[in-house]
Amino acid sequence: MTRSSAPGKVYLFGEHAVVYGEPAVLCAIERRARVGVEPRDDGRLRVHAEDLSLDGFTVEYGASAGDRPDVDVSESLVTAATQYVDSAIEHVRDVTGDEETGFDVTIESDIPLGAGLGSSAAVAVAAIDAGTRALGTTLESDELAERAYRTEYEVQDGQASRADTFCSATGGAVRVEGDDCRSIEAPDVPIVIGFDGGAGDTGELVSGVRSLREEYEFAADTVETIGDLARNGEDALTADDLEEAGRLMNFNHGLLSALGVSSRSLDTMVWAARDAGALGAKLTGAGGGGCIVTLDPTPETETALSFTPGCEEAFRAGLAETGVERLE
Ligand code: PMV
């Protein structure tokens, strides 16, 4: 079995606005998806997943599009995870030119699904890397990020930026603006995450912001202002000014709320973190439910969040310096 892992990520600044070409700043975090791929000669694809905040599942189906799936995949998150693997394997076939081989794919992940920590990007990156290596091809990081981006783009009906997949493939802190994706120097950011146990529907939330932006001038202006905050946030981070970075994260959360993508539980966790003395707190990713990201070098925020009603899990997340890791 060929195995690769890829990290999840948080948005420090700029989600949603990045979809319209504004800059975003993200950090890869040491929570990973590990994907194992074993070629099989009957052309079938079998996906087995554990630890995806679900009870685990197995899906098996044939190589042709008309022959899938042959087990019940009614749970929507399971369906989504399977779609990412399916699309990732199509890229493996495209890169290697091998249309015949089937695959056993095993996913283990400690990144909650659909919660703003980039689980789908990490699965896509690790699956493409392990799948291509299983067939004897090792992709450069840029091509891996591009293929993983196209996987997300296809599954999410064209509603994806390059941010998550580039960050997961590359690791560290990154800045993404349109097609321009690059690593940036950032201090060792003291990240604490709060998770409400839920998930948001990225496609629906992105569509909601798109409609608002078309209907209201304030929403278009808000998207631009989020871009300005991301530029200022990048400057604050590279100057090691965590207080300013935190303040800008607070502004960013307010603007995301105005765009309608926060939720009661995300707002509750944000306020609990601020009350505990966090330098800044905001939702991360598409929103609607899932995770918040906060900056706090002290233990206070993590402790306060773990006692906050509606917060299912609070944890400190170290920066993942490396993106994709080739395990064997
Ligand atoms: O919730 P996530 O991790 O899928 O992040 C979505 C981020 C958006 O900016 C809302 C969409 C995108 O593809 O950039």
Give the mean pLDDT of 100-115: 90
Last residue of a domain, one of 184, 201, 221: 184
Same domain membership, residue 174 and residue 133 = yes
Give the mean pLDDT of 66-94: 67
Q: Is the pLDDT of residue 54 over 50?
A: no
Instruction: Confirm or reject: Cβ of 206 under 6 Å from ligand 1.
Output: yes
CA 287 to chain centre: 12
Give the mean pLDDT of 69-86: 59
Same domain membership, residue 299 and residue 250 = yes
Q: Is the pLDDT of residue 53 over 50?
A: no
Same domain membership, residue 232 and residue 97 = no
For residue 87 the two structure tokens come to 């699309």
Give the mean pLDDT of 90-110: 92
Instruction: Confirm or reject: Cβ of 285 under 6 Å from ligand 1.
Output: yes
Contacts of 169 (CB under 8 A, 6+ apart): 6, 125, 141, 144, 145, 148, 323, 324
Q: What is the pLDDT of residues 198-245, one digit of tens each?
A: 988 888 899 999 999 999 999 999 999 999 999 999 999 999 999 999
Mean pLDDT of the chain, nearest integer:
90
Residues 116/205, Cβ–Cβ less than 8 Å:
no
Distance 130 CA to ligand 1 centre (A): 24
For residue 117 the two structure tokens come to 């920590």
CATH number at residue 301: 3.30.70.890
Same domain membership, residue 72 and residue 170 = yes
Last residue of a domain, one of 169, 184, 199: 184
Instruction: Confirm or reject: Cβ of 213 under 6 Å from ligand 1.
Output: no
Q: What angle do CA 242, 248, 249 make, to 5 degrees?
A: 85
Mutate to test the pocket of ligand 1, among 19, 150, 177 (most ligand atoms within 8 A of CB): 19
41 lies in a domain?
Answer: yes
pLDDT at 202: 85
Same domain membership, residue 178 and residue 32 = yes
Q: How many separate domains does the chain show?
A: 2
Distance 134 CA to ligand 1 centre (A): 29
Same domain membership, residue 85 and residue 37 = yes
Alpha carbon dihedral 61, 67, 72, 75, in 10-degree steps, equals: 90
pLDDT at 63: 45
Instruction: Confirm or reject: Cβ of 16 under 6 Å from ligand 1.
Output: yes
Same domain membership, residue 292 and residue 312 = yes
First-to-last alpha carbon distance for the chain, in angstroms, is 8
Question: Catalytic residue among 164, 179, 228, 241, which?
Answer: 164
282 lies in a domain?
Answer: yes
Same domain membership, residue 243 and residue 205 = yes
- List the single range of 77-81, 135-139, 161-165 with lowest mean pLDDT: 77-81
pLDDT at 160: 84
For residue 178 the two structure tokens come to 């349109």
Q: Which helix (H) or strand (E) holds 217?
A: helix 217-238
322 lies in a domain?
Answer: no
Same domain membership, residue 199 and residue 180 = no
C-alpha distances out from residue 127 to 124, 154, 252, Å: 5, 15, 33
Enclosing domain of residue 195: 191-317
CA 229 to chain centre: 21
Please report where in the chains the tokens 């993942």 appear, as a residue.
Answer: 320
Q: Is the pLDDT of residue 76 over 80?
A: no
83 lies in a domain?
Answer: yes
pTM of the entire predicted model: 0.90
CATH number at residue 35: 3.30.230.10
Same domain membership, residue 202 and residue 144 = no
Q: Is the pLDDT of residue 62 over 80?
A: no
* Calpha distance 260→87 (Å, rounded): 30
326 lies in a domain?
Answer: no
Last residue of a domain, one of 184, 219, 248: 184
CA atoms within 13 A on the CB side of 208: 16
* pLDDT interval class at 56 (50, 70, 90): very low
